[in-house]
Amino acid sequence: MTTLHLIRHGQTPNNVAGALDTALPGAGLTDLGMRQAEDLVRRFDGTPLDRVVSSAHRRAVLTAAPLTRARALEPLQDEGFGEVGAGDLEMMTTHESHMTYLTTVFDWSEGELDERMPGGPDGHSVLERYEAAIARAVEGLADDAAVAVVSHGAVIRLWATSQASGITPKDAEHKRLLNTTVVTLEGRPGDWRFVGWDDPNIVDAGASDPTADAEDDD
- Residue 89 CB burial class (10 angstroms; 0-12, 13-18, ≥19): buried
Give the residue among 11, 1, 62, 3 at the shortest CA–CA distance from 181.
Answer: 11
63 occurs within a structural domain: yes
Query: DSSP letters along 80-149, please?
Result: GGPPPP-GGGTT--SHHHHHHHHHHHHHHHTT-TT-B-TTS-BHHHHHHHHHHHHHHHHTTS-TT-EEEE
Does residue 208 form part of some domain?
A: no
pLDDT at 211: 67
Helical (H) or strand (E) element with 38: helix 31-43
CB of 140 closer than 8 Å to CB of 44: no
Amino acid at 48: P
**pLDDT per position in the chain (218 positions), as tens?**
999 999 999 999 999 999 999 999 999 999 999 999 999 999 999 999 999 999 999 999 999 999 999 999 999 999 999 999 999 999 999 999 999 999 999 999 999 999 999 999 999 999 999 999 999 999 999 999 999 999 999 999 999 999 999 998 888 878 889 999 999 999 999 999 999 999 998 887 666 566 665 554 43
Measured distance CA(77)–CA(210) in Å, rounded: 24
In a domain, 116, yes or no: yes
CATH code for the domain in which residue 154 is found: 3.40.50.1240
* pLDDT given for residue 210 in this prediction: 67
In whole angstroms, give the CA distance from residue 3 to residue 75.
19
Q: What is residue 171's predicted lDDT score, i.e. its pLDDT?
A: 84
Write down the pTM of the prediction: 0.94
Chain centroid offset of residue 169 CA: 15
Backbone angles phi, psi at 77, to 5 degrees: -130, 150
Range of the domain at 30: 2-201
Query: CB neighbours of 126 closer than 8 A, spacing ≥ 6?
Result: 84, 85, 108, 155, 158
* Number of independent structural domains in the chain: 1
Give domain status of residue 194, yes or no: yes
Distances (CA, A) of 201 to 11, 30, 38, 93: 13, 16, 12, 26
In a domain, 115, yes or no: yes
Task: With respect to residue 51, please indicate whether it lies within any of the assigned structural domains.
Answer: yes
Rounded to whole angstroms, the Cα distance separating 53 from 64 reads: 7
Q: How many CB atoms lie within 10 A of CB 137?
A: 22
**Residues linked to residue 51 through DSSP beta bridges, in sequence order:** 147
Residue 46 lies in a domain: yes
Strands ordered across the beta sheet of 51-54 = 76-77, 51-54, 146-151, 2-8, 182-188, 191-198, 164-165
Q: Assess if residue 23 is contained within a domain.
A: yes
